[in-house]
Amino acid sequence: MAEFLLELLSEEIPARMQARAAEDLKRLVSDGLKAAGLAFTDARAFATPRRLALVIDGLPVVRADVSEEKRGPRVGAPVQAIQGFLKGAGLASLDQAEKRDAGKGGFWFAVINKKGGPTAEALPGVIESAMTALPWPKSMKWGSGTMMWVRPLQSIVALFDGKVLGGEIALGRQMAPIKFGDTTRGHRFLSKGVFKVAGFADYTAKLRAAHVILDPAERKKIILEGAQKLCADARVVLKADEGLLDEVAGLVEWPVPLLGTIDAAFMDVPPEVLIVSMKNHQRYFATTKADGALANRFVVVANNAARDGGKTIAEGNERVLRARLSDAKFFWDQDRKVRLEDRLPALKGVVFHAKLGSQAERIGRLAKLAVEIASHVPGAERGPVEQAALLCKADLVTGMVGEFPELQGIMGRYYALSEELPIAEAEAIGDHYAPAGPNDRCPSAPVSIAVALADKLDALTSFWSIGEKPTGSRDPFALRRAALGIIRIVVENKVRLPLRNFFKADDLMDFFAERLKVQMREKGVRHDVVDAVFALGNEDDLVRLLARVEALQSFLGSEAGENLLTAYGRAANIVRAEEKKDKGLAARIAGAPDVALLEQVEEKAVVTALTEVERSLDPALKAEDFAGAMAAFAGLRAPIDAYFEKVTVNVTDRPDLRLNRLKLLNQIRATMDSVADFSKIEG
């Protein structure tokens, strides 16, 4: 068994593309090897800013002969079908095919024998196919060439069993092809010239000596541990940011964390502004004090090992940050000179959507909707809710949000506080976009709840009204996120909100229900339990609906629930089978059975038990005591079991008695289905 090493060296690859590209390269090469009949034991892919690398272990040196059969069309099939079969199988005529009786007449079969041979002969084609098919989000041509790649290619290492593969990659036109070789380069600044490699172990060792850490996971570890040590020595805490860590690891081949200082003049700017400016513009890590407040230190990761320990690099980054934060402070100071209320006319010039008008028109809708919602949110007073809704989009026309769009809402809160508006209104302005995702905080203050719900409900109903609905993976206006945000706000705060009052379209309610089902299943709720409750229909109070789901799942997990489900199944199956035979039966067995036709004591016992259940059920459902409603069913199992042991339902010689007994079974089904559709429960 042998090792295959591939490295594609290029100009800098965007950090966001590296991990996906490495996995795509591994997938495409692996698929190519399998298609060539080459099995292997392991494949590992790596990426740095300048290279993609792949090592595959356990490849055979020589490919075995393989035989493959392809079944073709039926004997006597049209000429076009025969020709297509021959072409696909690589046969010249039917004389090279076999006729076999494969059932239902004869069929043509092609037996294709593929000779083995040296594995090294198959690998160049696999490499070229993988490189051609690799799906870069963006790619380019360079020079006079025609080849598409993310950035200009410089060299290709292609070794199998320690030997260079014969082959090359054509760049097109008058550019010389890149031949497969065994030489590569190290760090752009910390190493010089090229060096030869003999295999993966030699490759990684020589790269490290040339100041290149090949494995992104190792680079991340070096960055994180180095940054944490620097912060500990400075008595600050590194602010966790996994996304930034991934990106920075894709920007450096030899990571060296360094600590810098933020000028005191900028520390009165809101911390979110400083963090966004450092992260988005400079890829710096923020730090905090022990109490969680933003500290005046930041971590920059250099791609260099400086002779002075990084002092000059750190000072240079401090100067760059000073210029960035000067802009941010300017916006902060200037924006506070204009009140949020005075900015509202400018929203007339900000288009929300071509078919839905301006942001000024939208805040009019939001204010009205938020007031309606406030009547269902305890503690949400009309005045503060209306004022917060009117001002919640005002920061869209500030200089700060123009520079940092991700701070909308956040800056509105700060400007409201600087104007000394009521804290509840300021917090609602800051909260109205939340939650932005499953891990984002959820508004909990009454005014914030009303405004945040209004923002999301308006988005759903407005875009629905113009036919802009999510389709498949396409959701340009984040309506799925809006629906999930409503669910979280309502459920976590137990808001009794009748959604149908706001969702005028039935398919919008269906869309919303599907989002709720998905979320519940992700939390471990049984899908059949969810379906059983949703099947009742006409339920738009999420708090009540989820309480019913929770009670049902708990009940079914008990012995009483399992037993009753068995009893329900017996009754429902009989009724269902008879309804299939007689299409008009359903109407005739609706309602309670005739007491005068109850002959056996077991029949009377079931009627008595059902009466007791219904007596307990109605008040329990009205009180939303769903656990109590489920518990009321517990007494049904024994009389139903006795009924099935002693009573014959299909009394063929007495139609009236048979119909009455089916009515009784139907009443069992209907009584239980008033809490949930038990027919949806599996098992």
Contact 20, 170 (CB under 8 A): no
Supply the pLDDT for residue 503.
85
Amino acid letter for position 355: K
24 vs 22: CA distance, rounded Å: 5
Supply the pLDDT for residue 226.
97
**DSSP per-residue codes, 172-194:** -TTSPPEEEESEEE--TTT--SE
Task: Write out the CATH class of domain 558-680.
Answer: mainly alpha
Distances (CA, A) of 633 to 534, 563, 564: 20, 10, 7
Supply the pLDDT for residue 66.
67
φ/ψ of residue 89, rounded to 5: -90, -5
C-alpha angle 421-423-428 in degrees, rounded to nearest 5: 100
Q: Select 341-519's CATH number: 1.10.3210, 1.10.540, 2.40.128, 1.10.10.
A: 1.10.3210
- 601, containing H or E segment: helix 601-622
- Tell me the torsion sign for CA atoms 384, 387, 389, 393: negative
Is the bond preceding 593 in cis, omega lying within 30 degrees of 0? no
Sequence-ordered strand ranges (E) for 273-407: 285-288, 294-302, 351-353, 357-358
91 vs 85: CA distance, rounded Å: 8
Write out the two tokens for 93. Answer: 């005529």
Contact 252, 12 (CB under 8 A): no
Contact 458, 464 (CB under 8 A): no
Supply the pLDDT for residue 410.
97
Supply the pLDDT for residue 683.
65
201 vs 35: CA distance, rounded Å: 28
Write out the two tokens for 210. Answer: 């040339």
Write out the two tokens for 309. Answer: 């320990």
How crowded is residue 80: how many other Cβ atoms within 10 Å of its Cβ?
A: 9
Contact 213, 222 (CB under 8 A): yes
Tens of pLDDT, residues 83-111: 888 888 788 888 888 888 766 678 888 88
φ/ψ of residue 28, rounded to 5: -70, -40
* Residue where the block lists tokens 């090359």: 168
Write out the two tokens for 452. Answer: 């945040």
- 184, containing H or E segment: strand 183-185
Closest CA to 188 of 311, 9, 46, 45: 9
Write out the two tokens for 103. Answer: 């059932």
Supply the pLDDT for residue 540.
86
Supply the pLDDT for residue 97.
85
Closest CA to 677 of 567, 544, 568: 568
- 509, containing H or E segment: helix 506-522
φ/ψ of residue 237, rounded to 5: -120, 130
Write out the two tokens for 138. Answer: 């963006």
Supply the pLDDT for residue 103.
64
Contact 1, 58 (CB under 8 A): yes
- 399, containing H or E segment: helix 399-403
- Tell me the torsion sign for CA atoms 22, 27, 28, 30: positive
Supply the pLDDT for residue 434.
96
Contact 184, 9 (CB under 8 A): yes
List, in sequence order, every residue forming a beta bridge with 69; answer none if it has no partner.
Answer: 111
497 vs 541: CA distance, rounded Å: 6
Whole-model pTM: value is 0.80
CA Rg value for the chain? 35
User: Which residues of the chain carry a pLDDT beneath 50?
Assistant: none
